[in-house]
Amino acid sequence: MAYRSSGAGYADVASHFRKRIEDGDLAPGDPLPSVAEIREQFDVSAKTVSRALGVLKNEGLVTSRGSLGTVVAEPQAVTSGVDRLPRIARTGRRYGPGEDSTGHRVMVRSVRDPKVAQALDVDPSDEVVVRIRTFRQNGRPTSVGVSVYPPRTWAEVPELLEEGRMGEYFGTLYTERTGREVTPGERIGYQRMASQDELDALEIKVPSVTPVLVLVTDVTFHDEDGPVAYWEDVYAPGEKIRIPAETAAAQ
């Protein structure tokens, strides 16, 4: 179906194809429509199309491939857990092209980490559900995802206690059952030394005395009554992290 919008600009064109790539509608190697087809689809000039494609190339999402024209590039950046949510809402797909997760573990234990206890507003001795998995891109481990849920969350979503992947985003199930909307807070990024468990999950082989610095991002989810989840992503050294266009525009 043609996309028509009065006054559509290069940002609109770029946003359209960016979402199609992020949603997996266009996979690595797939060609984008020709310039003429994009002009017709969006009712824009050739210059506008050129600027839009330039934006996507600068973001590493597409590349020129000779007679094939412009094609979707292999992913160059990691998509964090919270950044998957818009795609899930739009398409129901948890993973993009080449993405997967392995090593799923589920534990019920005391919080232990004072930072997490504070984020979830629980006592360090309280039991929480901890879910851990390793995200991969084309088989390569790129990040370790850790999600922690206080008792009031897994009381409503007992699926969090089950081994393996969750069939649905916990927030969707929680809202359906409580009527309370789940909202992610501000995502925070920082560096710290990786634990041995994280190094093992990321398949990083170094002597035990060698410190490895990793980038970490975390975010706390809330409903109207308080925190309902804490998510943390630990990225393999050297991995690039994609910042969604909506976030970048707000900065």
Instruction: State residue 199's pLDDT score.
Output: 96
State the chain's mean pLDDT as an integer.
90
Q: What is the pLDDT of residue 35?
A: 93
Q: Which domains does the chain have, with CATH numbers?
A: 10-72 (1.10.10.10), 82-250 (3.40.1410.10)
pLDDT in tens, 141-191: 999 999 999 999 999 999 999 999 998 999 999 999 999 999 999 999 999
| The amino acid at 37 | E
- The residue behind tokens 């190094």 is 199
The SS3 call for residue 63 is strand
**Measuring CA to CA, which residue among 197, 187, 204 is closest to residue 242?**
187
Measured between alpha carbons, how far is 96 from 80 in angstroms, rounded to an integer? 12
Summarize the confidence of residues 8-32 as an average pLDDT. 90
